Chain A
């Protein structure tokens, strides 16, 4: 069985290294094919492991080697395949393998084709380490690895110049990449502190040891650990107030957005909370805080998606919002539901992004949805698949999102947090509205693109074929709910519902109702040309389109003062104090040498004189400091 574990883990690494060999060379199709094939190896190994874990109920635990073994500190490099990690492995490898195939078409004319596949496979490898590690140190390595790959991939088109915020809210790919990286560093500090606290108090980083010992710790300390770990999760999963990087990360190529910024990396934070469920189960107050932040982000991000005109940003906000839903479930103790939504969301959100990629291809990388319209005629398959994904996102029966999202709302209601429920309910309506606003503006209505001289075309057949499994999963994966629950609750705590029967039906009805009315409103409004121009002058619109002015506030209150502080530290402190001191010492020594070098004349007579002077000096010193006198 270990063989399959290693295959699943290391195949992406091999693919990445293979592609890296050709990194600096012009496009070679073979790199894409080999990387994709190895991803499929990883996918099938993961599926095999899933089959094994399902049939036997055992988990596989291997120790690769001792990594750090110093004094009392012992961190082995170990991997575990249990019910949670195997679900993550299958989700990650499924989406990754399909995105790899899709990228062969999407990046066809890009000069960095080989480099792209190298980064993408390296990302999958890091993600596999993150989900498979059996200790917090390994998780952190994977965590940083995915952060690095995200940086490389967001800034993939690093040659694009910086522009002002009015033209492009993300300024430039390299700017966006740096923003994502720095934001995550801030959060990672929190996470590191959390890990240190765990180590100090339990003496181990192994999950099984830590989770066994955590119940014996003082509740305040556990809360602190929970909060710090959650700060790490907030960075990676882009929760408020560390959320701005995710929308800007859309500067990366679209397959990257589909894989990293929708399906896998951003869900790592949710995975962390799910994995650390023994910690969070014992601190329901922190859980409630997480759920509150999640619900706030669910509405907050959805509201920004309502007015945005950028195809990918809308989907990015929707990802943020759905991550909020996952955190609500995880925060309220319904870990298996969070994991379930994580999985279904990975499928339909990746599908949505890949569809957006097709549209971008057809429109020569144009992103403004107001310049599109009527594309369903030329891009029938893309349109169908994006509608499926949008229906799943909106939570319409029988699509996957219905099952997972409804369960989250049910949990919020059931745990008597009615405000949270109401926010999520509102968010569900917004989600339905903006999803179908996007669909209507892109695929239906007047063909506005003709005015701008675009000639849209359908994507290559293999790109569509790569999307097909995701489309099927977006439709059917909801029906696995019961077996999924049964499977993962072998490891995760079960969630016991108190409300039954008619209340549940009523809840489902109300949620479906608001989702349907959101869709209905979008379809009705945008089939008639949308809202009037006056709407754009209102304060609310300006607030939303400028992302609540948060990026500007961050720049004014954090980036600018920080830059000024750095400048002072450089010009005043470093140059005038530190450098000056060092320079002074060096100058003194240099000048002394310059003056003193005449001693070394090579003239024997003079050298003898110096020797005698030295001798006499030493003699005098010996007499003066002689102990016997």
Chain B
């Protein structure tokens, strides 16, 4: 039997993977993937809890997140392509212009 806990654990695991991805990845494209994982981890959580409480609000929210994630990726990829055309690299460390 798959209970709510299973979903939430899955969601937490995905979230942690995404978080590690954000921390470790130097490639901007990979960073986007990691961000998507974070958002979708949350989506799983929303959908599961929504089902558990029989309340549609959580699922509604998941839809919103999917829509926003899509638009974010669209804008982000557009910027990424332009950046790549200009600089020829999407490594995060090469983007640094200040020195602290």
Contacts and interface: CB of A to CB of B under 8 A. Distances in A.
Interface of A: 597-605, 608-609, 612
B86 interface: no
B11 to A, nearest CB: 16
B2 interface: no
B98 interface: yes
B95 to A, nearest CB: 6
A603 B93 contact: yes
A601 B99 contact: yes
A332 to B, nearest CB: 84
A405 B23 CA distance: 100
A603 B96 contact: yes
Contacts of A600: 98, 100
Given A603-B95, A604-B92, A605-B93, A598 B19 contact: no
B99 A604 contact: no
A612 B23 contact: yes
Interface of B: 19, 22-23, 25-26, 31, 92-93, 95-100
A604 to B, nearest CB: 5
Contacts of B31: 604
A315 to B, nearest CB: 76
A600 B96 CA distance: 11
B100 A604 contact: no
Contact of B23 (A598, A601, A603, A609): A609
A612 B19 contact: yes
A601 B92 contact: no
Contact of B95 (A597, A599, A604): A604
18 contacts: A599-B100, A600-B98, A600-B100, A601-B99, A602-B95, A602-B96, A602-B99, A603-B93, A603-B96, A604-B31, A604-B95, A604-B96, A605-B25, A605-B26, A605-B92, A605-B93, A608-B22, A609-B23
A608 B23 contact: yes
Given A600-B98, A600-B100, A601-B99, 16 more contacts: A598-B100, A599-B100, A601-B100, A602-B96, A602-B98, A602-B100, A603-B93, A603-B96, A604-B96, A605-B26, A605-B92, A605-B93, A608-B22, A608-B23, A609-B23, A612-B19
Contacts of A599: 100
Nearest to B95: A604
B2 to A, nearest CB: 27
Nearest to A599: B100
Contacts of B99: 601-602
Sorted nearest first, the 7 A-B pairs with minimum C-beta distance are A602-B98, A598-B100, A601-B100, A603-B96, A605-B92, A604-B92, A602-B96
Interface centre among A601, A602, A605, A608 (most CB of B within 10 A): A605
